[in-house]
Amino acid sequence: MSQFRHGTVDVNRIRLHYVEAGAGPVIVFCHGFPEFWYSWRHQLRFFADNGFHAIALDMRGHGESDVPDDIADYDVLHTVGDVIGLLDSLQIEHAVIVGHDAGTTTAYHAALMRPDRIVGVAGLSVPFMPRGHLSMIEALENEVPPEFYMLYFQAPGVAEADLEKNPRHSLRRLFYANSGMNPGSPIMMMATKERGLIDTLPTAPESLDFLGEDEMDLYEAAFTRTGFSGGLNGYRVFHRNWELTSPWNGMALPIPNLFIGGSVDTVLQFPGFRDAAEAMEEFHILEDAGHWIQSERTPDVNDILLRFCVRVGNRPA
């Protein structure tokens, strides 16, 4: 990882850690949960080698970034502000932004709120859904059982106690259950009062095809440092995000956009998500891939993103 450069910036009253590589047109990566900047390692190398300035954030609450205590500090205005603050600090005028999983919330809203700075947006695993008459959490409560994992994540402290008992065990099970390796994918993750979430998931093999044990060491260290509350708080602000974004109600993405998903990704089984993905400007499904698509299908994802950058004019001279 010698080509990676680590840095921090003070934005929005927190210290934000980021990792960058290369020089040229800028592409910013926002990870999901449970991830940190390292989930973009393959993309950092690829885009640096192809003449780009690639930047992966540790989103607030993750990795080496600060972990605010207040749940409200994880709302979308804060996280979009983190991205724009980073661009300002690094004197970057324009960028393509890529989000995965929960990171798509930040990526899509950065596109909605700052189309003067964001020239293209790509969402991995989670499609863009225009703001409607219900918040995400209200819509889920009407469609899924109360044991559904996103509802299980809502009560502060409950999921933390479950996931933090053994961070490595939790991470391995979450990664395996939602990957193309799991013959039972796609699954709808459900918790129980007796067992929580992690112990209801399929038993994971000793090693994962897309994540080596030395790489798992880094994930374990990252979440041992921060705990899981930062990522979980991102789920706890679903309703707050809806309330804060009323000026953008019903608005479509105003800039070029694409979606990349896996055919056995759990997310595409959620009500309305497949239709939303197909409604985006570019729609790509990778057969037999699961949720961790940038690691499971690295070459395919990199090639699609590179072509997208060329299409929107964000390319090396």
Per-residue pLDDT band for 1 (boundaries 50, 70, 90) equals low
C-alpha angle 173-60-150 in degrees, rounded to nearest 5: 45
3 state SS of 216: helix
How far, in Å, CA of 277 to CA of 307, rounded?
19
Cβ-based neighbour number of residue 131 at 10 Å:
18
Most distant CA pair in the chain, distance: 58
- In a domain, residue 251? The reply is yes
User: Residue 145: which CATH number?
Assistant: 3.40.50.1820
Task: Give the residue numbers annotated as catalytic, written as ranges.
Answer: 101, 291
Domain with 123 in it: 5-311
Per-residue pLDDT tens over the stretch 46-70? 999 999 999 999 999 999 999 999 9
User: Is the residue at 189 inside a domain?
Assistant: yes
Give the chain's domain count: 1
* pLDDT one-digit tens code per residue, 169-213: 999 999 999 999 999 999 999 999 899 999 999 999 999 999 999
pTM score > 0.95 for this model? yes
pLDDT tens, residue by residue, 265-304: 999 999 899 999 999 999 999 999 999 999 999 999 999 9
Q: Per the domain annotation, does 317 fall within a domain?
A: no
Residues of the chain with pLDDT > 90, as a percent, come to: 94
- With respect to residue 316, please indicate whether it lies within any of the assigned structural domains: no
Q: Whole-angstrom Cα distance, residue 99 to residue 92?
A: 18
